[in-house]
Chains A and B, each alone.
Chain A
């Protein structure tokens, strides 16, 4: 491939960007050496995505300049960025789901008014790119039928097809299994060998250490440090990110499980399309323990949470809780489950945890809105709601501490704090927790983890579903692994490591067993 003509593939000078009152980026300087993998790390809301959106032409910077290969470029929209050789793989894929891989790749670079010619040329070019970067994919497959790992590959191919020499990846491993993530890093390595410069945005320290050459740290809209990856470590980076010492390990005592608080017996769930989502789920959840459910997302974890919390009725089996037996014939809805003292922190705070158009103090009572604490004779007791919301915002460090701000306008971490506070402060016996720290920054993660452990100490029974293995391993006492709607394995947290769990999550043990 072409030798880089300039030591820096991309260089930013004094980039600033303001959204209303929020200074998203302030005087950012960045030099990315050509042909390297450069990590940009920072908490959520540190301004990483804004900065990349500026480079990719989604926003225009208020001040500052961008140089590509030593030439100053004026990037006003995505088209300019593409012309400058910059490609981006967004956190939420920018794919048309019912298009084929080929159609997605050529969109915007069709090569002529009539598709035929351009498509045939694209097919040849893609075959070459796939070979060069070992990116196997069926170009005629419809995107929505592909697993996320492959969809991401389509995004990478899209960028390469447009001749990208600089590839930006925004939180690329958020949706991948450990194995898929490993594969991605091998691809990035191959790209680097071919002279492509990769910018990797993430808040996962492990990925930065494993795959980058250099790393820049952002905090509160500013670049606070640049390091050679080989000369730094997890602790230093974490400290730079949050500006204070953090511990990544959760300190906890041995579990002392008490009575069974929740028991699932042969619980199955068949969805409206007739697909079996849960198959004969059996487990017990005891007071004073955290049971973690590990698994690649989409293997029935969401359905399990929905069935247990009463959102979707199960198809067969029974759930025992607080002396009641819940069966398909005598179901309980979500409100009735709450009355049995079950708390539920849903996986998707936007869709299920909050009404984003509500002000914080309103969202803070959802699901408990009939509670006498919040009600007068006829109307809601706004004063009580506001008081409580103020207290919680203080004790949970929700920023900004403004109960009248719409929940949509809080950052992800602060939204999550509002949801968790709501469920935890009601002192439930059983707490279902789904992806508690998805899109949440390190400072808040620590806080949330501490609260979960506190509940365990207070003899609560906690079921934790998370795609973050670190989190599952740090918090759980026992780990159940789900695959294709079934619990395929169980092991104590003390015996769990990433490799074992990863293999169990991919159901590799059973497949080996079957082939023998």
Chain B
């Protein structure tokens, strides 16, 4: 039983990683006042770029680089539409999601002729599990040994990176000059402008950071979690990350826990496949997969109180005409 729990938690960490990366990406963007429903598209674009580049160049790291470039490129398109041209954030985000969903398959067919997938990756083309020091030695120690060797050790570098980024994000957002300005620009861009700071420049930087993180999340999907790109492999994770962002009230640590909760439900869903519950019968996988969303709606509706986002989110900044 304990071992099963550890295995579920272990899976939780792996499933939560892209959620955490994408949710932190969304956090930077929305804290700066840019709604980003395009997390999904950027992640998918990143996943495709990573798998394609890793396959061609034979290196997961080069794949990661391309994922970041692709995702930042998409983020800049979003920024150009929303910041420079004051477009509607939702429309721009949905457009990015739609374009990427089609483009990845089209390019995949043209380049690899494998039905929209990329070639299966192996060896250095993927990120592999890292065994932490003493993991094997401690494996036989009761409880702690299992936790250390199974749960903490044995993940790929991107998993550790995602969790390390949580305190890093907290530090950047709440303890640095950039973070102060970032939060201010999402709350009251007029105050930032009158303080002599460029609203657009801060928002662009936020959007770029968002792109970098989404790129990493995408690379994780195709070159770490899986071994290649599959059509629509982001499968709504971008939206789930957005839900986690709201659920965690735009704060890094609560957002991480929201992602872990969603990841946990996902891991349980996988475990529950084909399990027959006495009296009920076999639980449909979909019923469990829908849980994170249902949970978000329920919790937002009543339990965690009002989730108030940054005040100026989604609103283009226009200097007032006196």
Interface residues of A (CB under 8 A from B): 19, 24, 49-50, 53, 56-59, 77-82, 88, 90, 92, 94-99, 103-104, 106-110, 112-116, 118, 158
Contact = CB atoms under 8 A, between A and B. Distances in A.
Interface stretch (B180-188, B224-232, B293-301): B180-188
A487 B257 CA distance: 50
Interface string B177-210: 1111101100110111111110000000000000
B303 to A, nearest CB: 18
Closest 7 CB pairs of A and B: A108-B195, A79-B196, A110-B177, A94-B191, A49-B322, A78-B196, A94-B194
B187 A113 contact: no
Give the interface size bracket for B toward A: 20 to 34
B271 interface: no
A146 to B, nearest CB: 15
A95 B180 contact: no
Contact of A98 (B180, B181, B187): B187
Contacts of B193: 78
B175 interface: yes
A99 B196 contact: no
Nearest to A81: B196
Interface in B32-90: none
A113 B195 contact: no
A115 B195 contact: no
A80 B194 CA distance: 11
A100 to B, nearest CB: 11
B196 A108 contact: yes
Contacts of A96: 183-184, 187-188, 191
A53 B196 contact: no
Q: Identify which of A78, A81, A103 gathers the most chain B CB atoms within 10 Å of its CB.
A: A78
B167 to A, nearest CB: 15
A98 B147 CA distance: 41
Contact of B180 (A82, A107, A158): A107
B175 A116 contact: yes
Contact of A53 (B177, B191, B322): B322
Max chain B Cβ within 10 angstroms of own Cβ: one of A59, A107, A158? A107
Given A94-B188, A95-B188, A99-B184, A78 B176 contact: no
Contacts of A81: 196
B188 A97 contact: yes
Interface of B: 175-181, 183-184, 187-188, 190-197, 311, 319, 321-322
A57 B319 CA distance: 12
A88 B183 CA distance: 22
Contacts of B187: 96-99
26 contacts: A24-B322, A50-B322, A58-B194, A77-B196, A78-B194, A78-B195, A79-B197, A81-B196, A94-B190, A94-B191, A94-B194, A96-B184, A96-B191, A97-B187, A103-B180, A104-B191, A107-B181, A107-B197, A108-B181, A108-B195, A109-B195, A113-B177, A114-B177, A115-B177, A118-B177, A158-B195
A108 B178 contact: no
A390 B85 CA distance: 37
B169 to A, nearest CB: 15
B321 A19 contact: yes
A354 B260 CA distance: 47
Question: Which of B178, B180, B191, B322 gathers the greatest number of chain A CB atoms within 10 Å?
Answer: B322
B322 A108 contact: no
A278 to B, nearest CB: 24
Contacts of A103: 180
State the main secondary structure of chain B at its contact with A.
helix
Nearest to A57: B196
A94 B195 contact: yes
Contacts of A112: 177
A110 B193 CA distance: 15
B192 A114 contact: no
B184 to A, nearest CB: 5
Contacts of B181: 107-108
Contacts of B177: 110, 112-115, 118
Contacts of A58: 194, 319, 322
Contact of B192 (A50, A97, A108): A108
Contacts of B192: 107-108
A97 B184 CA distance: 9
Contacts of B175: 114-116
A109 B195 CA distance: 8
A94 B187 CA distance: 11
B181 to A, nearest CB: 7
Given A96-B184, A107-B184, A108-B196, 17 more contacts: A58-B319, A79-B196, A80-B196, A82-B196, A90-B194, A96-B191, A97-B187, A97-B188, A98-B187, A99-B183, A99-B184, A103-B180, A108-B195, A109-B195, A113-B177, A115-B179, A115-B180
**B188, B191, B193, B197 pick with most chain A CB within 10 angstroms:** B191
Nearest to A409: B321
Given A98-B187, A114-B175, A88 B180 contact: no
A94 B178 CA distance: 19
Nearest to B178: A113
B176 A108 contact: no
Contacts of B197: 79, 107-108
Contacts of B194: 56, 58, 78, 88, 90, 94
Contacts of B184: 96, 99, 107
Given A50-B322, A82-B196, A110 B180 contact: yes
Residue in B177, B178, B181, B187 whose Cβ sees the most chain A Cβ within 10 Å:
B177
A80 B180 CA distance: 21
Contacts of A98: 187
Nearest to B321: A19
A504 B256 CA distance: 52
A90 B322 CA distance: 11
**Most chain B beta carbons < 10 A, residue from A24, A77, A92:** A77
Contacts of A82: 195-196
A116 B175 CA distance: 7
Nearest to A109: B195
A97 B197 CA distance: 18
Nearest to B181: A107
A103 B173 CA distance: 13
Interface centre among B176, B190, B196, B321 (most CB of A within 10 A): B196
Contacts of B322: 24, 49-50, 53, 58-59
A78 B192 CA distance: 10
Contacts of B321: 19
A272 to B, nearest CB: 11
A412 B197 CA distance: 30
A408 to B, nearest CB: 10
A90 B175 CA distance: 28
A94 B196 CA distance: 12
B195 to A, nearest CB: 3
A108 B196 CA distance: 7
A59 B179 CA distance: 28
A79 B194 CA distance: 8
Contacts of A92: 190
Contacts of B179: 115
B245 to A, nearest CB: 17
B311 A97 contact: yes
Contacts of B178: 113
A118 B177 CA distance: 9
A95 B196 contact: no
